[in-house]
Structure 1
Amino acid sequence: MIDIDDLVVRRGTADVLSGLNARVAPGESVRVAGPNGSGKSTLLRVLAGLTAPDAGRVTVDGRAPGDPAVRALRGYVQEPPPLYEHLTAAEQLGFTAGVWGVPAGALRERAAALGLGERLDVLVGELSLGQRKKLGYVCSTAHAPRLVLLDEPFNGLDAAAESAVREDLARWRSEGRTLVVVSHSDTSVAGLVDRTLTLEAAA
């Protein structure tokens, strides 16, 4: 599913990722760990096709991360989520449903399960950070992606929403989807990942 060979990403003159080699098999669930500055979020952005490598080679399902076919099979739960602040939460869900050709009602049900049921008529820009994170989570995974990239998915969530997200991850794992989860805490992903890929801060 994911092949990373000698990946280098620079910020200015400093290497954020330097010579990274890794493999993630189809259906595997991997936690990405490491100290601040080790490039965890940068790695997800590379896999999402949003940051280009300065050197090395990265493929997802045999293609470059930015390939349209890869975008269709991938979901990227990022922080902060890319949302339209001038839309209501319901309108954002409807827009996302139209993009992916999925029922808007199903997305509203998922949002309600995360505690957003009574906030759907509120402008996205007026939602709290935690509420926007819930909405972004639903939108980013609306199309049932085969590969799900998650950057600290539990940060800012209340206990009920965290439980619902954990249930989603467990179900996706059982369905054979590939998960790559950045998490500072090994306990938060206990039972949800097969192994941990630990990055080191570049010298």
Structure 2
Amino acid sequence: MAYTISVDGLRKRYGDVRAVDGVSFDVHQGEFFGILGPNGAGKTTTLEIIEGLREADEGTVTVLGLPPWPRNSTLLPRIGVQLQASSFFERLTAREQLQTFGSLYGVPAEKADAMLETVGLGEKADVQVEKLSGGQAQRLSIACALVHDPELVFLDEPTAALDPQARRNLWDLLREINTGGRTIVLTTHHMDEAEVLCDRVAIMDRGRILQLGPPAALVRGLDAPARISVASGLLAEEDARALPGADTVSDDGVSLTISTRDPSAVVAAMAAKDALAGVQIHGGTLEDVFLELTGREYRA
């Protein structure tokens, strides 16, 4: 199978720090591929090597069948890159900004205008970039990465610092981009984002890939217990602990939560006690997988 991206044995060191330490993976054509990890995991360094912005110390990388390093001018028109931090030309409007980026690839001005509509910025075309909201600026950044119609798009933390509404709107845009046939590689530390958007994810920490696969498959492999919650007061804690299949029970005064690996038995027993008002059942998530693999300690 021909892969859009193929990475084998990638390594990058900065002094004694192994930023990338033997990373290997492939990305299929048309796939939405995520690279997840805590701060300092090596996500951005890996992406920059694949994009041709950094030289690897060891290993091989091919992008669309070509090596990205040394800087490959024949590859550049075929990829689009949205960096973790984007800088725009001062005092230019959104339209002028996008037309400037497009001109670097010979894109006509009218196509740049059409791209503004695609990312939902048509009404902001004549607004100076510094007056755009955070979500609007992120959309413009993605438009700049897409204006020349690339086959492959790299997105590095595209929803960082966005409010929940702006994040959801941006998710819709990314789905449309991927549905249009483009391959997308995304780095993020938002597990819900990766679970919703990505076909497969690679979980990285300390420069290495710990697990790789579809989010749902990784969650099933964790074999995490289900959590069943009901309003406090419906069932005493001691009665909840006595339910068949109940493992642990907690009550914070708002919700009583039962952890179990046999949710059907617990729910049936709770129904018999008429204690299902407001019931919520939560299975394992990609965040559970992430924390199991990378630990729970805070990292700045």
Give the superposition deviation at 1:74. 0.9
Mapping 1:7-46, distance limit 5 Å: 7-46=10-49
Change (3 A) 1:18 1:40: same
Q: What aligned pairs does 1:1-203 form with structure 2 within 5 A after superposition?
A: 1-65=4-68, 66-100=71-105, 101-102=107-108, 103-110=111-118, 113-114=120-121, 117-118=123-124, 120-122=126-128, 124-125=129-130, 127=132, 129-158=134-163, 161-202=166-207
| Residue 147 of structure 1: how far off its partner (Å) | 0.8
Structure 2 unpaired stretches of 5+: 209-300
Looking at structure 1, the residues matched to 29 and 171 of structure 2 have their Cα atoms a distance apart, in angstroms, of 20
> Does the CA contact (< 8 Å) of 1:80 and 1:133 recur in 2?
no
TM-score (norm 1): 0.85
Q: Distance in 2 between matches of 1:175 and 1:138?
A: 15
**Structure number with larger C-alpha Rg:** 2
Q: Taking structure 2 as the reference length, what is the TM-score of the superposition?
A: 0.60
Which amino acid is 1:175 matched to? G
- Alpha-carbon distance, 1:159 to partner: 5.0
What one-letter code is carried by the residue in structure 1 that aligns with 2:20? L
| 2:23–2:207 CA contact under 8 A, matched in 1 | no
- Residue deviations 1:111-130 (CA, integer Å, cap 9, x gap): 5x14x7347342x4565555
Q: Distance in 2 between matches of 1:172 and 1:132?
A: 17
Alignment partners' CA distance in 2, 1:181 and 1:164: 16
Distance 1:180 1:118 in 2: 27
CA distance in 1, matches of 2:82, 2:44: 11
Aligned length: 200
Deviations 1:105-144 (A, max 9, x none): 2133245x14x7347342x456555543332121112122
User: For residues 108 and 174 of structure 1, what CA distance do their matches in structure 2 show?
Assistant: 18
Following superposition, the deviation at residue 160 of structure 1 comes to 5.2
Residue aligned with 1:198, SS: strand
- Percent identical across equivalent pairs? 32
Asked whether the 8 Å contact 2:7–2:26 carries over to 1, the reply is yes
Pick 1 or 2: higher relative contact order, CA cutoff 8 A, min separation 6.
1
Name the aligned partner's letter for residue 2 of structure 1. I
Equivalent-residue separation in structure 2 for 1:89 and 1:74 (angstroms): 21
Structure 1: runs of 5+ lacking an equivalent: none
Q: 1:86 to 1:17 in 2, by over 3 A?
A: same
- Contact 2:94-2:124 within 8 A present in 1 as well: no
- Deviations 1:70-114 (Å, cap 9, x if unpaired)? 211111111211422253333211212222314232133245x14
Residues 159, 71 of structure 1: alpha-carbon distance in 2 compared, 3 angstrom cutoff = same
